[in-house]
Amino acid sequence: MNRKTNPGLKIICLNRKASFNYFFEDLFEAGIVLKGSEIKSVRDGKVNIADSYAVEKRGEIVLINSHISPYKQASYSNHKPDDVRKLLLNKKEINKLIGKMQRDGLTLVPTKMYFKKGKAKIELAVAKGKKQYDKRATKKSRDWNREKARYIRRSS
């Protein structure tokens, strides 16, 4: 299955669990402040953003619970794997996100991490949590579409 993507993007990791647990409203692209050993580990693909989320701290948006494995060759100057990482957004975008989080009770969930023109970027989704019955309905419709496609393929 050859997926067509933007040639300038190199996807590092995806958060597949996010689309099952949340309804997405908006998507934002943000840069990440990383240390030297962190960027080396990211280039190796040793990143996990499955349980991470973003919050506001002192007027900035930070990423919490993202796991970047320690880089073996960094020795004493290595980083903490579960450190809080600052996200780079415009002031206007930060104010918009903070307003949505406070007013509407939405959350910021990272959906994917990638390289764009050599810089590490993260895609944030302004999301609302799904209830259990929403998750069941999503699974039911996905299964029904799969069965429908099988039936059409067999009949033709």
Terminal Cα distance for the chain, rounded = 22
Each residue's pLDDT tens digit, 29-81: 999 998 888 888 888 888 988 889 899 899 899 999 988 888 888 878 787 78
**DSSP secondary structure code for residue 144 in this structure:** H
Each residue's pLDDT tens digit, 71-117: 888 878 787 788 899 999 999 999 988 888 888 878 899 999 999 98
Q: Which two tokens stand for residue 117?
A: 């023109």
- pTM recorded for the entire structure: 0.76
Of 63, 66, 96, 97, nearest in space to 80 by CA: 66
Name the residue ranges covered by the structural domains of the chain.
Answer: 9-130
Q: CA-CA distance, 110 to 50, in Å (whole number)?
A: 8
Whole-number Cα distances in Å, 76 to 38, 84, 91, 94, 106? 13, 19, 35, 35, 39
Looking at 2.130.10.10, 2.40.280.10, 3.30.160.40, 2.60.40.10, the CATH number of the domain 9-130 comes to 2.40.280.10
